[in-house]
Copies of this chain bind each other. A is one copy, B any other.
Amino acid sequence: MNLLKLGYKITKLYAFNHLFLKHSLCNISSYICSMSFLEDKTPNRIPLSKLGEFGLIQHISKNFELKNDTSVFGIGDDCAVIDVGHHFQLLTTDMLIEGVHFDLTYTPLKHLGYKSVVVNLSDIYAMNGLPKQITVSIALSNRFPLEAVEELYEGIRLACVAYNVDLVGGDTTSSTSGLCLSITAVGEVSKDKIVYRNGAKEYDLIVVSGDLGSAYLGLQLLNREKQVFESNPQMQPDLQNKDYVLQRQLRPEARKDIIDLFESKGIVPNSMIDISDGLSSELLHLCSNSKVGCAIYEEKLPIDFMAISIAEEFNISAATCALNGGEDYELLFTISQAHYDAIKDDPDLTIIGHITDVSHGSELVTKDENHQPLTAQGWNALS
């Protein structure tokens, strides 16, 4: 902590110099504050966990307003929206930190590269757009040789090929410890086809693509086998016949096919979001942004048979995994009932409920017909 005190002392001199005062970037009190944050252990500092990720974003973004005509939409949806003339451009970014978002014990670097791209592209699709370019920044420590970086970028390249996006830039630098990845994706969408989170209307059908909960169960499985191995390195991991959930965790795909389906059927959803943090959490975002309520039905939740059997093995509810698991990267959207016929027979789409008036609240109807308020228990990066 001594080093920090130096900052404090330098500060005093800076203040005498009025070095930063003239630009009002920093005055003595804020300078001292900014340094003393790091050494101050008094309890009146507010820990980030108290706000959580979404609370922090809300807290910060209230100080920022959009001034440029081309900034159509800023913080608060899957992507930022920029007006570039005859279409909108979509911009999204994600940061992945070793030890927080991934565990290199069981995550191959090639898969990590692939997944890191996919999670960003998923945000572009969630606005009904098509991704076109990405930038990739990495910071890595000297424990990574060139061959490791090649593996990571091979996964990135395969995702670029699979989704027809171009790697156009980035940054490569060193870190003091683990691997840190930051990817930004750029996409395009017609101005008349962009879908926000805030357009859900009463009586809309609530639809999800694919199935839910498997990625979470894949993670539980990998963590369990890691723990078994830690306590007894002679044990062989028990991962046979668990392909699907492992693949959902280690190498998810983004639902470009659903966007193509919308195009071919002439459907523009009223609202959409991708499921990265869990169905409940994302549906609550949709409802609060659209100022509506919702009712979804537990018995309608699409869950793969393997996920159900693994949930039983773990003695947890498969429905809970589907509601709160996260990392499925499926699309959650609402459409007018007029589109019911166009989607009802699609095996990749499941109607799980409908949008209600805001006064109704957001509720889950359980299999035994209990009506429960929906709560967000999914991933929160700062909890």
Residues of A with Cβ closer than 8 Å to B? Answer: 2-7, 9-11, 13-14, 16-17, 19-20, 23-26, 30-31, 33-35, 37-38, 40, 45-51, 53, 56-57, 59-61, 63-68, 70-71, 73-75, 79-80, 82, 84-87, 89, 91-95, 97-101, 104-106, 108-111, 114, 132-133, 135, 137-140, 142-151, 153-155, 157-158, 160, 164-178, 180, 182, 184, 186, 188, 222, 225-226, 229-230, 233, 236-237, 239-240, 243, 246-247, 251, 381-382
Q: Contact: B94 with A137, CB < 8 Å? A: yes
> Taking A33-B147, A110-B34, A184-B93 as contacts, is the C-beta distance between A166 and B64 under 8 angstroms?
yes
Point out the residue from B34, B91, B93, B168 that lies within 8 Å of A148, measured CB to CB.
B34
Q: Give the complex CA separation of A23 and B252 in angstroms.
A: 12
- Let me know if B94 and A172 touch, CB within 8 A: no
CB distance from A50 to the nearest CB of B (A): 8
Majority-rule SS of A interface residues: mixed
Q: Is the beta-carbon distance between A177 and B177 smaller than 8 angstroms?
A: yes
Q: Which of B40, B138, B239 contacts A13 (CB 8 A)?
A: B239
Q: List 21 A-B contacts (CB under 8 A).
A: A3-B105, A5-B233, A6-B106, A10-B239, A14-B239, A26-B108, A26-B251, A37-B145, A38-B143, A38-B144, A48-B142, A48-B144, A64-B157, A67-B166, A91-B133, A91-B169, A95-B139, A95-B173, A100-B139, A137-B182, A180-B180
The distance from the CB of A14 to the nearest CB of chain B, in whole angstroms, is 7
Check B172–A6 contact: CB distance below 8 A: no
From residue A254, how far is it (CB to closest CB) to chain B in Å? 14
How far is it, in angstroms, between the C-alpha of A79 and the C-alpha of B98 when the chains are bound? 27
Candidates B84, B93, B147, B176; contact of A137 at CB < 8 Å: B93
For A157, the closest partner residue in chain B by CB is: B63
Q: Whole-angstrom distance from the CB of A68 to the nearest CB of chain B?
A: 5
Partner of A151, one of B14, B17, B34, B50: B34
Report the bound CA distance from A150 to B51 in whole Å: 13
Q: Sorted from nearest, which 3 A-B pairs have the closest CB atoms?
A: A80-B168, A182-B182, A45-B145
Q: Are B94 and A171 interface neighbours, CB within 8 A? A: yes
Known A-B contacts A64-B166, A71-B166, A381-B173; A89 and B89 likewise in contact (beta carbons under 8 Å): yes
Pick the contact of A230: B2, B13, B30 (CB < 8 A): B2
* Most chain B Cβ neighbours within 10 Å, of A37, A75, A89, A233: A37
Provide the residues of chain B in CB contact with A51, threshold 8 Å. 146
Chain B residue nearest to A168 in the complex (CB): B80
Chain B proximity of A100: nearest CB distance (Å): 6
In this complex, what residue of B is CB-closest to A158? B25
